[in-house]
């Protein structure tokens, strides 16, 4: 499995604009981390299904992961239909 390194962004104090709270750098980092975690989970699940399609034979884990990563990135980059 692919190891990832998460960068940590320093937090900023929350500011208010016209009485409403503006997003802080910390909340943006949390959202980005959540998105990265969701993407990784989708890739892991897709790689698992590729493994199942290969009748659960060992030895191609990296190829499964890379194929799944390409497919998930392609799907995430596609315009969404509401």
pLDDT digits (tens, 9 = 90+) for 20-66: 555 555 666 677 778 999 999 999 999 999 999 999 999 999 999 99
Residue 21 in tokens? 């709270």
Distance between CA atoms of residues 6 and 26, nearest Å: 14
What's the predicted TM-score (pTM) here? 0.60
Where does the chain have alpha helices with state H?
A: 25-53, 61-77
Provide the residue ranges of all domains of the chain, joining segments of one domain with +.
Answer: 42-82
């Amino acid at each position: 499995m692919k190891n990832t390194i998460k960068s940590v962004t320093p937090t900023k104090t929350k500011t208010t604009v016209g009485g409403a709270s503006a997003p802080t750098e910390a909340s943006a980092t949390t959202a980005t981390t959540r998105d990265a975690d969701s993407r990784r989970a989708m890739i892991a699940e897709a790689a698992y299904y590729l493994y199942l399609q290969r009748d659960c034979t060992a030895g191609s884990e990296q190829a499964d992961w890379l194929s799944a990563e390409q497919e998930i990135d392609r799907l995430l980059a596609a315009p969404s239909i509401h």
